Amino acid sequence: MRRHPRELHGLNRKLGRRALILGGAQAGFVGLLALRMRHLQVDQADQFRLLAEENRINLRLIPPARGEIFDREGRVLARNSQSYRIVMVREDAGDVEAIVSRLARLVELDPDDLDRAMTEMQRSAPFLPITVAERVAWEDVSRVAVNAPALPGVTPEVGLTRVYPRGPDLAHVVGYVGPVSDYDLDQLEDPDPVLRIPRFQIGKVGVEAKEEALLRGRAGAKRVEVNATGRVMRELDRREGQPGADLQLTIDAELQSYVQARLGRQSASAVVIDCESGDLVAIASSPSFDPNLFVRGISVADYRALIEDKYRPLANKTVQGIYPPGSTFKMVTALAGLEAGIVGPDDTVYCPGFLEVSNRRFHCWKRGGHGHVDLENSLKQSCDVYYYSLALEVGIDKISEMAQRLGLGVRHDLPMSAVAAGLTPDRAWKKRVHGEEWLIGDTANASIGQGFMLASPLQLAVMTARLATGRSLSPRLIKSVDGVERPETPGEPLGLNENNLRKMRQAMYAVSNDRRGTAYSSRIIEDAFRMAGKTGTSQVRNITAAERAAGVIRNEDLPWERRDHALFVNFAPYESPKYAVAVVVEHGGGGSTAAAPIARDITLQALYGDTPPLSAYPTAVRSRIQAQQERLQRERDAREAGESDRA
């Protein structure tokens, strides 16, 4: 049907308007698009150029050189050594197993290191280099370089690794480093970005861990150009980091070496402290271990051998080990009594071999007793009954207060791992911890360093140094940082009556120099170096009434772990104290036989600064001492040869 002309005209007008509207909309859209493109390409050009540049250029950290550690004479205790390592890039290697097989024919590969590398290779990006072998010899590097065409993706590199040239001598003091673990990162609220560098090493124990912030330094940075996959194309520039600070310890490495050798394979510890400055010149725990084993990851077999050793070589017994101080604590009880005015130097107590307290007998070590004893004789012969009786009058609170005044029950501020506070109990402590009242028998036990009383060898050395000087001397381990000396800590006067301190020193002198003294056989006969000391024997088991009636079993007849601990503390020279020494031999038996001879030998070595002459020893022991000195010298020579190999 044909439309009327007017109808066609109206329809054309409608179509024209729609086309106009549609065309206008399209023109507006194109205009907006053009404006947006202009905004992006002109107005925001600089911003997008920067984003593109950042996408192309990465900022990467450069690990800083770790600070080195020296002894008081400048001998190296921990240093960085250039070492060769072999790395592999999985993407370039192609068939990794085939390349590793070829490499193994040229270089000896540790199975544990290789397994670790293969695991790390699977977790990492294919273009990242993974260390396959570390500390390889130059000859191995040469073989790899010569065979480079047959080893795609394999490259020898030079890096820094931590070396401890003194080996076991200072393992418990210096500690060791190791790769950063997830546990390490979890312990930090805001970890330093450098810690996330693969295989970056940090201190794990000892000074290495406690002074990590100083030793680590600050990372440098380099700008590298990368492609779309993140592979480095070239290095644009770099800013070197700041190396860590060098630390100088108060330790005398030569004396430390002697002390470690003198302790031998016994489960024992020894501390030597300078009475003038508070410097720790030797602090040794035995047996020890080689910290170099831990630097790149210790093997399962080596670690199992350490943790299964009943002598606990990984434990730092000097600060971590706490023991009943035994009779070395008697000076504390006596001084508390003197200061309180409860006892005088000439007052006597009768010792029949025991003291009845609340229907219980507290026995003296000497079954028949010591008879009438005054202060000096009680310490010289180590009469237990004298101190039981005195403590019941003085009271545990005054004894505990005196112990803390002398440095016991205090966590001394040292950059060492697991420094223990020990324990000097009082009435409030028992009520708070055990919910029980303090008993009179607890006081009797505490008076001779038994019961709840606990102290570390470090604390015993501090106690002895304070008795020798009358000052609140504190131990110091860091001598200087980057050549800047740290302040000494000789301490202020203790505020104790000097006459009372003099009486205690005289009694300790008698212990070592009077024929009836418990340490007389371990005396020093060189007049200029005579020492004052105190033996101690602390029980680790209860002795039943039946055993006492039948005769107490001798230590040597008991299993090792049930024997008494042996202790000895001393200072020398008596007239002008230079060093204070504490020795603890775990399950060593008697302090006079096991600990005192070691302490005497260490004291003489420290005073002479070298092997002491035989004339300093009693005539009866000189032949044995000479044989001992020769044996120790051979051992130290062998150890120095090992140090040269590590160097």
- Residues acting as catalytic residues: 327
Cβ neighbours for 110, distance < 8 A, ≥ 6 positions apart? 133
3-state secondary structure 239-271: ECCECCCCEEECCCHHHHHHHHHHHCCCCEEEE
Q: Which helix (H) or strand (E) holds 88?
A: strand 76-89
Q: Using CA atoms, how far apart are residues 91 and 185, in angstroms rounded to an integer?
A: 29
- Other Cβ atoms closer than 10 A to 431: 12
Which residue, 464, 497, 472, is CA-closest to 572? 464
Contact predicate 377/391, CB 8 Å: no
Q: Angle at which helices 396-405 and 440-447 pack, to 10 degrees? A: 30
Burial of 535 (0-12, 13-18, 19+ CB in 10 A): buried
Contacts 24+ apart (CB under 8 A), 363-370: 363/548, 365/537
The helix/strand/coil state of 82 is: strand
Virtual CA dihedral for 350, 352, 358, 362, nearest 10 degrees? 110
Q: Angle at which helices 253-263 and 596-608 pack, to 10 degrees? A: 160
Amino acid making up residue 216: R
Contact predicate 258/605, CB 8 Å: yes
